[in-house]
Amino acid sequence: MHKVKPTESIEDKKRNLCFASSHGEMEKVQELLIQGISANCIYEGGSYTTTPLRSAIGGNQEEMMVFLIDQGADPSIKVGSGKSHHACLASDEKFEKRLRMIEILYTKKPEMAEEIAEYVTHRLNYLASQNRLDETINTEKSQSIINELEQINQDRLKREEDLKDLEKQTRETLGLDKTSERRNSSDETKSGSSAEEADVNHKMPSSKVRPNPSQSSPIVPVVTNSGCVIS
């Protein structure tokens, strides 16, 4: 009697895609992608969480990594410990062996070059602090990649520093402008107050005292030449 093969669940297919990616099984990976499993799928295996791209990186499958990125795999996805794929590359003990994969990653994804360079530089500083840099980076090709990434990181730091200086200058300029605005506002307020006072004084009745008819001065009689008296 012919046995009917049980239908694979979506989770089974995700697991199989990650497994095939880590072992470089190109045909199986292509088959699962055709079936609709995303190159960015996240498989939770109980004690670990991974993606096809992360599995390929973990298995040192350079060709598979390139293929998955071309199929839309996103290296910036953070899974498991919260590390992105390039962070895993930079922090792995097989750091030098994966420098070629790191180079491919920032070449394929130039918009991520600065972030990748930051992680790699951080890893290099750690190795130097452990006196392990010479034993880890010992080929001309590796040193060339390192030099390029360090330059990218230095350019990033320089640009961030320039941006901070620009922001500081902008704040100082705005501070002067605000002081000037407050001064002008104060002058306008004083001018407005003076004008209002003048207007009020104009509208107030005059304080000049008008003569009271009952208190008028006595009339002095005037004598003409003819001797007539004019009162």
The whole domain housing 113 covers 94-183
The mean pLDDT of the chain is 75
Nearest to 71 by CA among 107, 40, 31: 40
Same domain, 63 and 133: no
Same domain, 60 and 111: no
Burial of 66 (0-12, 13-18, 19+ CB in 10 A): middle
Question: Is residue 123 domain-shared with residue 70, that is, in the same domain?
Answer: no
| Predicted local distance difference test score (pLDDT) of residue 209 | 47
Is there a contact between 137 and 146 (Cβ–Cβ < 8 Å)? yes
For the chain, the domain total comes to 2
Residue 174 lies in a domain: yes
Pairing of strands 49-50, 43-44: antiparallel
Is 190 inside a domain boundary? no
H or E, element range at 198: helix 140-203
On whether residue 2 sits in a domain, the answer given is no
Indicate if the pLDDT at residue 4 is higher than 50.
no
Is 224 contained in some domain? no
pLDDT tens sequence across 59-105 = 889 999 999 999 999 988 877 666 666 556 655 556 666 777 888 88
Q: Domain holding 42: CATH number?
A: 1.25.40.20
Co-location of 102 and 76 in the same domain: no
Top pLDDT among 64 and 2 is at 64
On whether residue 206 sits in a domain, the answer given is: no
* Domain assignment present for 87: no
Per the domain annotation, does 193 fall within a domain? no
What's the pLDDT tens digit per position in 161-196? 888 888 888 888 887 555 555 666 666 665 555 555
Q: How far apart are CA 231 and CA 228, in angstroms?
A: 10
76 with 124, same domain? Answer: no
User: Does 101 share its domain with 64?
Assistant: no
- Convert the pLDDT of each residue in 15-42 to its tens digit: 999 999 999 999 999 999 999 999 999 9
pTM reported for the whole predicted model:
0.59
176 in the same domain as 101: yes
* Phi, psi (deg, nearest 5) at residue 222: -115, 130
